[in-house]
Amino acid sequence: GGEGAHVYGGTEGELGAHLFGEMRPAVGAAEEDVVICDLGSGNGKLLLQLALLTPARRLAGVELSATRHAQATAALAQAAERQVLSPARARSIELSCGSMLDHAALCEGTQCFCYSLALDTPFMEALEAHLARTLPMGALVLLRGKRFPGGTWAEPGTGASRRGMQPVLETRIVNRMHQFYGYRIADAGAAPPDGAADAAAELRLLELEQRSAPLAAHSAPLACPSLTPTS
């Protein structure tokens, strides 16, 4: 992914869940049918938070660093042992060590997240094409830090429709340095005549301010930040 691809950045589960919710169509699959894929899942924090915050039936993470992967598997084991997660919920989380370009769960992923800030342009181009070929039609992709290069539509195979990344969301979170970019896997028929993966009519700008929730004396173990639309 480039010289800086080893850089690791955390993302809050509450914010990720909120943004995926903003991208969901008004009529779509039930939340219980969601399969979340975290590409570059690090120490597993985001997936564990999403397991607590969402009813997704499956949560799959892939991490290239063996050290971070070991931290994630240890955290998952502790969460189950301490009953933060029920046995069934813990089993719904799958962690693997390897490349995000070789992640089996993508073939049924409906929501896919990647912290893309340190990935270089050639890798982002490869990732964009790979996700367009592999994810189901209509799947949502959320990037933090860097947009996809855009402009290409992947050909999955003979007789299959051409697919690409349709931009549907950009954030302006006033107290966050790195912003989020949301996409939907769409048919090439939705693209402009020049083939560019830029459906400006569908693109929505979401302006928010994220504030940390105060901890009360008897608060629950998981305190989520609040999200407030900016004026």
| Contact criterion met (CB below 8 Å) for 56 and 93 | no
pLDDT digits (tens, 9 = 90+) for 184-217: 998 876 555 554 444 444 788 999 886 655 544 4
Sign for the CA dihedral angle at 17, 18, 23, 28 comes to: positive
As a whole number, the mean pLDDT across the chain is 82
pLDDT score for 162:
77
What pTM did the predictor assign? 0.82
Alpha-carbon distance of 44 to 31, in angstroms, equals 21
pLDDT score for 8:
58
Higher pLDDT, 24 or 5: 24
- Number of C-beta neighbours around residue 74 at 10 A: 12
List, in sequence order, the alpha helices (H) in the chain. 13-23, 45-53, 66-81, 87-91, 121-134
Residue 169 backbone dihedrals phi, psi, to 5 degrees: -155, 140
Flag whether pLDDT at 225 surpasses 50.
Answer: no
Alpha-carbon distance of 29 to 111, in angstroms, equals 11
